[in-house]
């Protein structure tokens, strides 16, 4: 092959186009000198219709944006950074991806071997920087030019894509660390891509379950419809967290947390089948830790399986035995108990008409309805309203705030997809991750018309306020951030220490009060903004959001 140009640009071009040939559709990048060849190669690939490029100034936001894109699509997404602290800023997103099982590909530019360990500017030890969170890693020597560079770039792309999807028992993040020498970019010409090798995952053998044991199905974050399907077919009680995307169906137990407080009913449980990552309540780990209870965990994506008692049987899949005979009375006991404990009315319910012809009675009803509409917004009403407003063509992201627990305790069954960062349950990156979810909707015509709603507390909002920065010329998706603002971390008020600590010290180091003007932030970043304080205004704002990015602030009392 004749001279194809600058080695750095040739390698970067071959690498990204090979990843696109495998099926990667999105690249997120942050600006930097050492990574310029990668950034320009991504831009050229976008111009040729091979990739969609998203640019973010802050690498932490970039990492979480890529996380949201890959979680929505289930396919690998690359995030590109320059060297030094830029790489370290990807670590939170890589950790979340590792624990939840997301095929994130970190591509980091680095100094060549001769400049490492010699005090060179913006140089640190990048190989191994993500620890176990990078389940596969390669430190690529600086390309020198020639046919071998293209061959090596293809090999690295093939190995990275396969490792991200099937290299572990689950999808997982991987790391390509690419050393680059001056000149850092220039002309690049590569041959047509060679055929890519097929990447597929085999299905494990299913563990057969009979009807001989009184069984409940637990669905945690990421469980998906498979949990509901098993519970419905076997007619077993379904205890589904709000982040499970399995909170629906005839086997769903209302108010499952309260039901798990029924000692007599729980004592009769002989087996628990677990899907996903249940981590929103204390009652579920207590159930799984009971002596004599058989625990079967269906392998979830992510680094660790949910097994609080360290005695679960982890399996790849489950199925019912031939001739399975369901115990309808067992399910009935749980449903009856759940309905008895379920508080399905909010604290200012719609009154409705009585059909009375009395003017006085009609006036009373009108006044009652107006009072309900004008009533202040409680946390319970907020989560119920967001839940009611969301439908299958929408997307819902629940932040790791107090509100997700409020929702888990109260919202009814509904067949919708719910997303969250429950791998490590951190509040970081919420806005960026949800933006990735919203941007990925453009790839799916069925969901492109919907709204991405993000329910988050004020601290989660402030933690990722940089994620509000949307570059000119890039897509501005229909996303609505619903910020429950109690001006601090009221989630900590539920800790036991809140009853014993000095109130002033507790507020300073845990509640962490603030006086941030969210309206001013929205204006600065170019987002639509609205604040609502009554239930009627909240319902209208949720059902008719702005066409582009918007923030809906809901003041809440502590």
Find out whether 7 and 144 touch, Cβ atoms under 8 Å. yes
Give the pLDDT score at 288: 95
Residues 11-32: pLDDT tens digits?
Answer: 999 999 999 999 999 999 999 9
Residues 432-442: pLDDT tens digits?
Answer: 999 999 999 87
Give the pLDDT score at 199: 75
Of the pLDDT bands very low, low, confident and very high (cuts 50, 70, 90), residue 198 is: confident
Give the pLDDT score at 369: 57
Q: Within 13 Å, how many C-alpha atoms sit on residue 145's CB side? A: 12
Of the pLDDT bands very low, low, confident and very high (cuts 50, 70, 90), residue 353 is: very low
Dist. CA 431–CA 420, nearest whole Å: 11
Find out whether 471 and 435 touch, Cβ atoms under 8 Å. no
Residues 143-183: pLDDT tens digits?
Answer: 998 889 999 999 999 999 999 998 777 899 999 999 999 99
Question: Nearest to residue 556, comparing CAs of 420, 381, 387?
Answer: 381
**How many residues belong to the chain?**
558
Dist. CA 322–CA 490, nearest whole Å: 51
Structure tokens at 508: 């300073």
What the chain holds in terms of domains, given with CATH numbers, is: 7-179 (3.40.50.970), 206-341 (3.40.50.1220), 376-555 (3.40.50.970)
Give the pLDDT score at 205: 85
Question: Nearest to residue 426, comparing CAs of 491, 486, 480?
Answer: 491
Dist. CA 228–CA 153, nearest whole Å: 43
Residues 384-415: pLDDT tens digits?
Answer: 999 999 999 999 999 999 999 999 999 999 99
Residues 72-115: pLDDT tens digits?
Answer: 988 999 999 999 999 999 999 999 999 999 999 999 999 998 88
Flag whether pLDDT at 354 surpasses 50.
no
Dist. CA 62–CA 68, nearest whole Å: 10
Dist. CA 93–CA 387, nearest whole Å: 27
Let me know if 145 is exposed, middle or buried by CB neighbors in 10 A (0-12, 13-18, 19+): middle
Q: Calculate mean pLDDT across residues 462-475.
A: 96
The proportion of the chain whose per-residue pLDDT surpasses 70, expressed as a percent, equals 93
Give the pLDDT score at 2: 42
For the beta carbon of residue 371, count every other beta carbon within 10 angstroms.
11
Of the pLDDT bands very low, low, confident and very high (cuts 50, 70, 90), residue 365 is: low
């Amino acid at each position: 092959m004749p001279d194809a140009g600058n080695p750095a640009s040739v390698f970067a071009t071959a690498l990204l186009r090979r990843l696109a040939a495998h099926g990667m559709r999105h690249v997120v990048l942050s600006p930097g000198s050492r990574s310029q060849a990668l950034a320009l190669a991504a831009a050229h690939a976008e111009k040729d219709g091979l990739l969609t490029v998203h640019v973010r100034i802050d690498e932490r936001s970039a990492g979480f944006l890529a996380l949201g894109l890959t979680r929505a699509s289930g396919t690998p997404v690359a995030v590109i950074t320059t060297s030094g602290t830029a790489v370290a800023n990807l670590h939170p997103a890589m950790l979340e991806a590792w624990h939840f099982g997301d095929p994130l590909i970190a591509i980091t530019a680095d100094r060549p071997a001769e400049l490492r360990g010699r005090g060179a500017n913006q140089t640190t030890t990048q190989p191994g920087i993500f620890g176990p969170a990078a389940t596969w890693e390669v430190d690529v020597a600086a390309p020198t030019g020639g046919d071998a560079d293209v061959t090596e770039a293809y090999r690295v792309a093939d190995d990275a894509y396969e490792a991200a999807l099937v290299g572990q028992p689950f999808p997982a993040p991987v790391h390509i660390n690419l050393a680059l020498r001056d000149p850092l970019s220039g002309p690049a010409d590569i041959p047509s891509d060679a055929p890519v090798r097929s990447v597929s995952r085999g299905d494990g053998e299913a563990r057969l379950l009979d009807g001989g044991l009184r069984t409940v199905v637990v669905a945690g974050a990421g469980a998906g419809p498979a949990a509901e399907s098993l519970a419905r077919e076997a007619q077993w009680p379904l205890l589904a967290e709000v982040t499970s995307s399995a909170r629906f169906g005839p086997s769903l137990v209302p108010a499952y947390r309260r039901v798990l407080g029924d000692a007599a009913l729980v004592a009769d449980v002989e087996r628990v089948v677990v899907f996903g990552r249940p981590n929103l309540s204390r009652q579920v780990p207590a159930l799984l830790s009971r002596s004599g209870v058989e625990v079967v965990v269906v392998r979830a994506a992510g680094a660790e399986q949910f097994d609080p008692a360290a005695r679960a049987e982890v399996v790849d899949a489950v199925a019912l035995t031939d001739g399975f005979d369901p115990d309808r009375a067992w399910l009935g006991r749980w449903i009856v108990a759940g309905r008895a404990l379920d508080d399905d009315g909010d604290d200012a319910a719609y009154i409705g008409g009585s059909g009375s012809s009395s003017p006085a009675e009609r006036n009373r009803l009108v006044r009652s309805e107006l009072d309900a509409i004008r009533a202040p917004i409680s946390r319970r009403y907020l989560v119920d309203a967001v839940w009611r407003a969301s439908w299958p063509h929408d997307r819902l992201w629940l932040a790791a705030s107090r509100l997700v627990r409020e929702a888990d305790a109260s919202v009814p069954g509904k067949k919708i997809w719910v997303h969250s960062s429950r791998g490590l349950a951190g509040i970081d990156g919420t806005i960026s991750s949800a933006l990735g979810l919203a941007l990925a909707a453009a790839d799916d015509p069925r969901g492109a018309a919907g709204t991405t709603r993000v329910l988050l507390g004020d601290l989660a909002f402030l933690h990722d306020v940089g994620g509000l920065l949307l570059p000119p010329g890039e897509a501005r998706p229909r996303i609505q951030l619903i910020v429950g603002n109690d001006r601090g971390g009221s989630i900590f008020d539920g800790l036991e220490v809140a009853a014993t600590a000095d109130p002033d010290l507790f507020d300073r180091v845990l509640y962490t009060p603030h006086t941030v003007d969210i309206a001013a932030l929205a204006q600065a970043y170019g987002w639509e903004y609205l604040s609502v304080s009554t239930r009627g205004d909240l319902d209208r704002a949720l059902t008719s959001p702005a066409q582009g990015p918007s923030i809906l602030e809901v003041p809440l009392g502590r």
